[in-house]
Each structure stands twice: as structure tokens, then as C-alpha cells.
């Protein structure tokens, strides 16, 4: 029997061990070339169901399917070799019961080779998380603003602005941790609530719109690269790809119409006959 190939990927233990230490660097990835660029710098790559909006042009994440998540998960795994890769479980793939959650999580892990899945952790989710973890599926939780619940919330609305809501978000985070989640994404909450949750749970918290009080940060990569005209308040743009791409395409169009592209450098010619 041949010796199994050893990989240099980070493991769930590496992510869990980051609690209270150097913040985890996390980004979304949806394709192999982008994953390859991010891999050297990111501790964790999330194949987020945000792919439905930023790649497929859907109005929300609700329309994302298992097939979409698996396709993009496979691409990210091909493009990366070091980062810990998590794939989102899409809306409708885990809410019914624990058995449904396991069957779909197992399919995602088998078909992509990813290291973990992520579940948006409503009050119902602790049973699913525990069921998955007991059966060998590492699970990342997600509390606060939950994009899959947009139709109940009436939009992408920050959470934890009332005492009742703060208590509910905290309870969901504690339930996810107690059920065995190795990390929890906290989205769209005030800094003090993010700090309270981070102090209250033993697993790392990863913030998105939740301040630097968390154990790590994640952003949607096309947002932080400035691919779109509008970005949420919590995003810092580290590039302006929208402008760069627009200018590049405009220059290409001008060259094509002026017949200056392709030029001699980009054109093949007949080989000279050998003597």
C-alpha cells in the first residue's frame, strides 16, 4: 500500500488554537485562480453562499443550490493547498432535521474534499451541529445577521440592537459552541456584543461587520477588492478592481476597433523553410 500523501493544509485544530491569539485571516473564494492568489495569505477560505450574489447575480443567497456550492468548492480546493477550506451549506440543505443535514454535509465533503461546512445557526441548529460533529463533520457556526433569513428579517439588517435580540444572538452562539462548532462567524453586530460573545465562547469568533473584537476577520473578496460600485459599511476596499477592469476593457475595445490589436507581437507568421 502506498503511503498517503501528506498535505500542508491547516487543520481544524489549527483554527481552534487561534482563540485569543493572532487574529485569523479569512476570505471568501469561489474559483481556482482566486483561491490560488489568496492561499498564501489566508488561514481560512470560505466557499460562501454569497457566491449566489457576487458571481451568479442572484438577489440573495436563498436561491443557491447544493450543486452550486459543490462546483465552487471543488474549484477552490483545486486552487489552494495551504488554507483551511470551509463550504457553506445552502438554504434548505440542513434545516429539516439532523439526518438531512448529515447527508448533505457528507455529500459536500466527499465531492469537494473540503475540511468543514458552515451552518447559519438559528435556534434550531444546535441539534444539527452536534449530529454532524459526532459523525466526523467539523462545523462552523454563524450568528447575528444571517443572510439566509432575509425573507423573515425583511432585508440585510444588523442584529443585536435590542436587549431581547442581543440575548437571542448570544444564546445562539453559546448553543453552537456547546454543540461542538469549532468556530463561529459573527455578522453585523455592534462591537460590544461581538466582544461579549467572543469572551463567552471557547471557540474562535470570526467577525464580518462585528469589529476587531473577534478572534479573526472575514470579508467577501470581491467587496474588499472593489469589484462593485457599492459595498457595505463594514468593508474596507483594498483595491479598485472595478475601475481597473473598466479601464482595461475600454482600452482593449479601442485597440480592436482601431485595428491596433492584435499587433505584430500577438500575431503568428509562417515559419521560414529549413535550408
- The position carrying cell 445557526 is 121
Closest among 97, 93, 160 to 126, alpha carbons compared: 97
44 has which bridge partners? 26, 84
Q: Is 197 left (phi over 0), alpha (psi -120 to 50) or beta?
A: alpha
* Residue 67 annotated as catalytic: no
| Cβ neighbours of residue 224 closer than 8 Å, sequence gap 6 or more | 27, 235, 236, 237, 238, 239
Give the integer Cα–Cα distance in Å for 265 and 196.
61
> How far is CA 245 from its chain centroid?
23
| From 172, 177, 187, 196, active-site residue | 187
Q: Residue 86 has which C-alpha cell?
A: 470551509
Beta bridge partners of 142: 185
| Cβ neighbours around 171 below 10 Å, total | 13
**3-class DSSP state for residue 159?**
strand
User: Do 137 and 109 form a contact (C-beta atoms < 8 A)?
Assistant: yes
Name the residues annotated as catalytic.
187
Amino acid at each position: 500500500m502506498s503511503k498517503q500523501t501528506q498535505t500542508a493544509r491547516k487543520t481544524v485544530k489549527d483554527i481552534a488554537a487561534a482563540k485569543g491569539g493572532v487574529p485569523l485571516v479569512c476570505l471568501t473564494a469561489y474559483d481556482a485562480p482566486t483561491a490560488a492568489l489568496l492561499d498564501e495569505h489566508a488561514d481560512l477560505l470560505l466557499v460562501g453562499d454569497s457566491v449566489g450574489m457576487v458571481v451568479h447575480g442572484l438577489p440573495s443567497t436563498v436561491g443557491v443550490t447544493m450543486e452550486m456550492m459543490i462546483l465552487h468548492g471543488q474549484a477552490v480546493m483545486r486552487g489552494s493547498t495551504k488554507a483551511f477550506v470551509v463550504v457553506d451549506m445552502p438554504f434548505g440543505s440542513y434545516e429539516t432535521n439532523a439526518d438531512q443535514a448529515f447527508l448533505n454535509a457528507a455529500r459536500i465533503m466527499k465531492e469537494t474534499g473540503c475540511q468543514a461546512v458552515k451552518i447559519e445557526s438559528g435556534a434550531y441548529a444546535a441539534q444539527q451541529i452536534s449530529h454532524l460533529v459526532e459523525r466526523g463533520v467539523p462545523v462552523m457556526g454563524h450568528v447575528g445577521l444571517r443572510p439566509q433569513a432575509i425573507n423573515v428579517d425583511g432585508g440585510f439588517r444588523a442584529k443585536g440592537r435590542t436587549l431581547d435580540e442581543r440575548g437571542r444572538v448570544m444564546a445562539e452562539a453559546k448553543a453552537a459552541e456547546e454543540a461542538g462548532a469549532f468556530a463561529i462567524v459573527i455578522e453585523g453586530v455592534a462591537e460590544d456584543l461581538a466582544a461579549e460573545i467572543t469572551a463567552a465562547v471557547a471557540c474562535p469568533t470570526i467577525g464580518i461587520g462585528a469589529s476587531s473584537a473577534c478572534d479573526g476577520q472575514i470579508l467577501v473578496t470581491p467587496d474588499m477588492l472593489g469589484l462593485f460600485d457599492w459595498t457595505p459599511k463594514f468593508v474596507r476596499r483594498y483595491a479598485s478592481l472595478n475601475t481597473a477592469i473598466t479601464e482595461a476593457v475600454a482600452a482593449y475595445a479601442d485597440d480592436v476597433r482601431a485595428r491596433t490589436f492584435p499587433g505584430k507581437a500577438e500575431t503568428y507568421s509562417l515559419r521560414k523553410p529549413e535550408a
